Amino acid sequence: VKVVGMFRLNITEDGKIVGDSGWKKNQVTNLGFNQYLVSALGSIAGSKYVSHVALGTGGAPAASDTSLAGEQSVRASVTAATSSASKTVRFTATFDSAVSFVTASKNISNIGLFNTSTAAGGTLFAGNTFTSSAVATNQNVNATYDIVFS
């Protein structure tokens, strides 16, 4: 069984897409495999599940990373969806300008999936980098993140 992930970000302003990362592959971390997949399948104490997405200004996480470089101070809650015939779980989240996820224009360049809403807390399951994109305080960022088992 292989685990492959991919994500896509859209930056929107006034309901129109003004930036699109395109689909990018992810990096599952060592603790992502251990705590989110192996431990969860075995119902082992301390197993984790994805509940939030974080954005940051840093680079791609290494397999040994537990946090996201340059993480911003607000994480977005995910909605998870799959179908009974699917081998994919899709996480979606919105970083809403109304909750001031950025307080000044910033360049964002990485994304990560976490098990807690606390910025700089929890354990990074997976993430990666994308072409740095400027996001303003009046813009939203919509994230779609798929984890596929094949």
pLDDT digit string (tens) for 26-57? 999 999 999 999 999 899 998 999 999 999 99
Q: CB burial class (10 A; 0-12, 13-18, 19+) of residue 2? A: exposed
Average pLDDT on 83-95 reads 90
The string of pLDDT tens digits covering residues 107-124 is 999 999 999 999 889 999
Q: What is the pLDDT of residue 148?
A: 92
Which of 100, 96, 91 lies closest to 8, judged by CA? 91
Assign 121 to helix, strand or coil: coil
- Residues forming beta bridges with residue 55, ordered by sequence position: 111
pLDDT > 80? residue 84: no
With b meaning 16 or more CB within 10 Å and e meaning fewer, what string describes 20-52?
Answer: ebeebebbbbebbebbbbebeeeeeeebbebbb
Mean residue pLDDT of the chain comes to: 93
Q: What is the pLDDT of residue 103?
A: 86
The token duo for 57 is 């200004």
